Amino acid sequence: MKIRSRIHATTANILLRLFPLFTPDKVYIARRTVLRHGTEIGSGTRINGAAFVRGNGSLLIGNYCAMGHDIRFITSNHEVGSVAMQYQLQCRLGLSPVYAGRRNIKIGHGVWIGDRVMVMPGVTVGNGAVIGAGAIVTKNVDAYSLVAGCPAHRIGDRFDGRVAAAIDSTAWWTWSEGRMKSASAFFGANFTALPVDDALQLIVEICGHTDHEAT
């Protein structure tokens, strides 16, 4: 789903005041979400509670992400070098509002973002990362890492590095649902609990060759 223009964003937001949105590519966006033009949401992603996108930059969200309630994405900031930082005052003075530049946000595939998270301008979140509820994300988040806190900091990793790399190499988020169903053992496995060698073997058996199977 792509919000290409201000008109498209306005139309979507009017509808979202009343109803959640469902798209043909199985995106779900909860009622009362506010979107901006320049937002792109990948297939299968679910925004399960009202989210808010603001700023002049773009927001790119990957496939099959899971998002909680009251999430904020901020894609630009005020220019703190200006004497007056209020945009309306600058306009009344005959000046153009000064922004601190567009700083796009990119969320990878298969990311889980908890309730009341705030993602700040310029942040990139890697595939498979988990962001704990209430976190304020001011820096990039590594793939398959666990972050939490204000500001968010790394508290761990979901998997052993070799397992994470093998999972990532499958690019499962590009598969059809038919292929996903046929690989149900892959999606049903607990890769945190499995020994590393067993996890790597399972990935190879179900998904085929990976670049990391021999490491």
In this structure, the answer to whether residues 138 and 196 fall within a common structural domain is no
- pTM for the structure as a whole: 0.90
Q: Give domain status of residue 171, yes or no.
A: yes
Q: Give domain status of residue 212, yes or no.
A: no
Q: Give domain status of residue 215, yes or no.
A: no
In this structure, the answer to whether residues 14 and 115 fall within a common structural domain is yes
In this structure, the answer to whether residues 138 and 166 fall within a common structural domain is no
Structural domain including 53 reads 2-157
* Domains of the chain: total: 2
In this structure, the answer to whether residues 52 and 90 fall within a common structural domain is yes
Residues marked active site are found at 78
pLDDT tens digit sequence for 151-205: 999 999 999 999 999 999 999 999 999 999 999 999 999 999 999 999 999 999 9
Q: Give domain status of residue 146, yes or no.
A: yes
Give which of 59, 52, 57, 58 is closest to 76, Cα–Cα: 57
40-50: average pLDDT:
97
The chain-wide mean pLDDT, for the chain, equals: 92
Q: What is the CATH number of the domain that holds 144?
A: 2.160.10.10
In this structure, the answer to whether residues 147 and 166 fall within a common structural domain is no
Using the predicted structure, report yes or no on whether residue 12 has a pLDDT greater than 70. yes
Q: Give domain status of residue 150, yes or no.
A: yes
In this structure, the answer to whether residues 44 and 87 fall within a common structural domain is yes
Beta strands across the sheet bearing 46-47: 21-22, 28-29, 46-47, 66-67, 112-113, 130-131, 145-148, 153-157
pLDDT tens digit sequence for 94-136: 887 666 656 899 999 999 999 999 999 999 999 999 999 999 9
